[in-house]
Amino acid sequence: MELDYDPRKRFGAHLAALRRKRGISQERLALESGLARSYLSGVERGLRNIALVNICILAQALDMQPSELLDFRTGA
């Protein structure tokens, strides 16, 4: 099945917006989540196909529900 949008780009942009809205730097989110800053940077630039466990770790670090991190617009 083909998607008519790139989930990595949508997720990355959404994550960066959520992080900034909370006034959290990439460094701090990396520190709190335990994920490497370079990995986080790649996720936010839409270069990484992040897996479920890391999505849930980021959600917990941002004190959010995992579903909120996937609350981005789908479709073209």
Length of the chain: 76
Q: Give the closest residue to 59 by CA, choosing from 24, 15, 21.
A: 15
Site string for a copy of itself, 38-67 (x = CB under 8 A): -----------xxxxx-xxx-xxx---xxx
Residues contacting a copy of itself: total by CB under 8 A? 28
Which amino acid is it at 38?
A: S
Q: Quote the CA–CA distance of 5 and 53 in Å, as a whole number.
A: 23
Interaction of residue 76 with a copy of itself, rule CB under 8 A: no
Which chain residues interact with a copy of itself by CB under 8 A? 1, 3, 7-8, 11, 32-34, 49-53, 55-57, 59-61, 65-72, 74
